Structure 1
Amino acid sequence: MRRALRLAASGPWPDPNPRVGCVVVAAGGTVVGEGFHDGAGTPHAEVGALRAAGAAARGATAYVTLEPCSHTGRTGPCTDLLVAAGVARVVFAQSDPNPDAAGGAERLQAAGVQVSAGVLADEAAALNARWARTVVLGRPLVTWKLATTLDGRSAAADGTSQWITGEEARADVHELRATRDAVLVGTGTALTDDPRLTVRMPDGRVAPHQPLRVVMGLRDLLEGARVHDGPGTVVRLVTRDPREALDSLWHKGVRDVWLEGGPTLAAAFLRAGLVDDVYAYVAPALLGAGRATVVDLGIHTIADALRLRLVDVAVVGGDVRIHAVPARDDATTDLHLPERP
């Protein structure tokens, strides 16, 4: 199973599908097939492992990090493939939290396959924690990134905001941007700051993989806006409603959003309870006036403050990075990005 977990970690995130690994072991203990899921639209881990095993899969044991699926999506049910291959036993780590795909264990047992569940379940769950959270929520996860002075300003009185934080912090932001599949701002930020929203390397080069660059709001962008420069795709969402925006992105396959909008857009997501992570980059600087980091949240007394639960604090160059999550009942504090092998 540990080998299957290492294989699973080779799969991509973000992705609409979970990261899954499979190892097929013959009756004598010899590994005869391995596979992992390489993202939406590619064969499932079981498919790759059974193809590699061929006839040797008959009477073998399949170790899978996630309960084999029992539904038909882009591909047929993996349970049917395992039965057809003559696998005698299936051992899986994590039960599938997706109700549309769950039920594989019962289907295998009904076909006479021996099933064992829960082997290294915690490790498997940790690998797919962010994906599982999106399944529960039915929407993409949202990480709000902000850069602020010690007195809570995101721009000076004259509107300038480049740069509040130092070069090291900005490079750190680009590393984290690259781990999401969409970067989202509002038309206000797009018109005021004219950002590119690309992921750039420390030397300034544009990274080969680019998240979707998403701008939401009702105003038109300026002709020649820099958001259209560079590789990748730009998505315009003509709405001010955060839920409508996330629903649209969900149906485009987006599962992890990096929110870099200004104080108005951030407040809209916070008021709607649609922020799951916060990365605050705090510069040891004071402005005394200027644009606040976030506008009115409808909070009028300290007892109603939107409290955050601290996850991590780090010094990044000359600035401080604070990672926190909303301290609400349904929040999860262990949604760390999955490690790659």
Structure 2
Amino acid sequence: MTAVNRLETDRRFMAAAIRLSHKHSGRTATNPSVGTLIVRDDGTGPMIVGSGVTAIGGRPHAEAEALAEAGALARGATAYVTLEPCAHHGRTPPCANALATAGVVRVVGAATDPDTRVSGKGYAILRQAGIEVVEGVLAEEAADQMAGYLIRSLKKRPQVILKIALSSDGMVGRSGEGQVAISGPLSRRMVHLMRAQSDAILVGIGTALADDPELTVRLDGLEGRSPVRIVLDRQLRLSPTSKLVQTASRVPVMVAAGIDADPARRMALEAASVKILATDSHEGRIALPEFLEDLAAMGIANLMVEGGPETARAFLDESLVDRIVLFHGVGEIGAGGIVSPLRNTDMPKDFRRLRVAGYCKDRFEEWVRKI
């Protein structure tokens, strides 16, 4: 096989491993959802003999799953891993050692693990065992898939995904009217899928009061994938009769409050299974950088910010947004409309457009900032 053909083969199988890694996005706790393929060629062309993705809850790792499926066929094979194999000992051996013990002769990796227990050490173990290692194949694509894990490791906060639905005249709603339908049903289904892949979803108290949202996943078969729901509510104004509070015993709700919030309101919400998060304040607002550090310490790696415009602007002003998702509807809102805090024509300069799609009549754009 020529070097060019080998590179093409590596990219093809790595792309397949990245697609596989999406299977458990949002379901692997503090570990990233990694994909691994074991591929061997006995002279008739490369063939997948084992595949694995990080198990729900974070264990076993993808490499262990793939090696178990491949069995003896792993000996002499190539392993494609979307993240550098782990190098630290727990109750099970490191994945790098497991690959070497299984007799894998070549490992193709995508992203490097920033965890200081792993970074570079996993590849070093493989090379010391005489295994050929190829790094950085589709590294950017793999990093995009596990951005929450990487950002939490590097910046000690979750990846913040800002979602905005805006009308053709740049509005996100109409003052005093609560929820206003802007995008179509397919776009709304995509939003529910985004929720299912997130660890938490956040709104400001203004949105919670005006819209009375439920913020759950309402897709057939994915109802159990609803993320933790968070409200920024410094003065604890959230009503005990709201949909969020009424469903808190079924899907977790956290309210970020100031230390000066009314104790009686705190007790009422806690009695309804709402968890109150004590937060620092800065200039009369919740201190977002410190708050995000607290969320990361709880294991939250992907935070979806859904509303409203004031909350979105606060995250943007603090340069805490990593990914921006815009759903452009075709209708106008007109007089009384609430202006969007952001449009595709005034993106922060360090964001690049990653993808564009059409959902029926709606237009979808995703913008990302380099990790």
What is the root-mean-square deviation in Å for CA atoms of aligned residues? 3.7
Of 271-280 and 61-70, deviating more is 61-70
Alpha-carbon distance in structure 2 between the residues aligned to 1:151 and 1:53: 55
Q: Which amino acid aligns with 1:237?
A: A
Q: Which amino acid aligns with 2:16?
A: R
Q: 2:327 aligns with which of 281, 286, 290?
A: 281
For normalisation by structure 1, the TM-score amounts to 0.75
Alpha-carbon distance in structure 1 between the residues aligned to 2:295 and 2:217: 19
Contact 1:280 1:323 in 2 (8 A): yes
Contact 1:151 1:287 in 2 (8 A): yes
- Map residues 18-33 of structure 1 onto 2, 5 A cutoff: 18-23=33-38, 25=40, 33=50
SS at match of 1:21: strand
Q: Which amino acid aligns with 1:90?
A: R
Contact 1:4 1:63 in 2 (8 A): no
Contact 2:179 2:210 in 1 (8 A): no
Q: Which amino acid aligns with 1:294?
A: P
CA drift at 1:324: 4.6
Contact 1:262 1:294 in 2 (8 A): no
Matched, 1:13 2:25: yes
Q: 2:316 aligns with which of 261, 270, 274?
A: 270
Alpha-carbon distance in structure 1 between the residues aligned to 2:72 and 2:242: 57
For normalisation by structure 2, the TM-score amounts to 0.69
Matched, 1:36 2:83: no
Provide the residue aligned with 1:201 in structure 2.
Answer: 219
Provide the residue aligned with 2:275 in structure 1.
Answer: none
Structure 2 gap ranges (5+): 1-9, 258-278, 280-285
Matched, 1:224 2:241: yes
Pick the structure with more helix per residue. Answer: 2
CA spacing shift, 1:63–1:227, aligned 2, 3 Å = same
CA drift at 1:183: 1.3
> 1:221-273 CA distances to partner (integer Å, 9 max, x unpaired)?
21122014554322333342222332222223322222112122111100011
Matched, 1:147 2:165: yes
Contact 2:111 2:143 in 1 (8 A): no
Alpha-carbon distance in structure 1 between the residues aligned to 2:306 and 2:39: 44
> 1:193-228 CA distances to partner (integer Å, 9 max, x unpaired)?
2110112238xx983321221222313221122014
CA spacing shift, 1:236–1:88, aligned 2, 3 Å = same
Provide the residue aligned with 1:60 in structure 2.
Answer: 76
CA drift at 1:39: 4.2
Contact 1:27 1:60 in 2 (8 A): no
CA spacing shift, 1:74–1:210, aligned 2, 3 Å = farther
Contact 2:37 2:48 in 1 (8 A): no
- Map residues 181-200 of structure 1 onto 2, 5 A cutoff: 181-200=199-218
> 1:299-330 CA distances to partner (integer Å, 9 max, x unpaired)?
xxx9x984565455555455x4352537xxxx
Structure 1 gap ranges (5+): 296-301, 336-341
Q: Which amino acid aligns with 2:84?
A: E
Alpha-carbon distance in structure 1 between the residues aligned to 2:306 and 2:47: 50
**% identical equivalent positions:** 29
SS at match of 2:234: coil
CA drift at 1:172: 3.8
Alpha-carbon distance in structure 2 between the residues aligned to 1:289 and 1:39: 46
Alpha-carbon distance in structure 2 between the residues aligned to 1:43 and 1:86: 16
Aligned length: 313
Contact 1:150 1:282 in 2 (8 A): yes
SS at match of 2:108: strand
Q: Which amino acid aligns with 1:44?
A: H
Q: 2:341 aligns with which of 256, 272, 294?
A: 294
Contact 1:196 1:229 in 2 (8 A): no
CA spacing shift, 1:30–1:305, aligned 2, 3 Å = closer
Provide the residue aligned with 1:248 in structure 2.
Answer: 294
Matched, 1:106 2:124: yes
> 1:12-52 CA distances to partner (integer Å, 9 max, x unpaired)?
11343141214175989997654332244311223234444
Contact 1:17 1:40 in 2 (8 A): no
Of 30-39 and 63-72, deviating more is 30-39
Q: Which amino acid aligns with 1:19?
A: V
Provide the residue aligned with 2:269 in structure 1.
Answer: none
Alpha-carbon distance in structure 2 between the residues aligned to 1:235 and 1:18: 25
Contact 2:204 2:233 in 1 (8 A): yes
Q: Which amino acid aligns with 1:241?
A: A
SS at match of 1:80: helix
CA spacing shift, 1:273–1:89, aligned 2, 3 Å = same
Q: 1:235 aligns with which of 254, 273, 295?
A: 254
Provide the residue aligned with 2:265 in structure 1.
Answer: none
CA spacing shift, 1:5–1:42, aligned 2, 3 Å = farther
Q: Which amino acid aligns with 2:53?
A: F
Provide the residue aligned with 1:339 in structure 2.
Answer: none
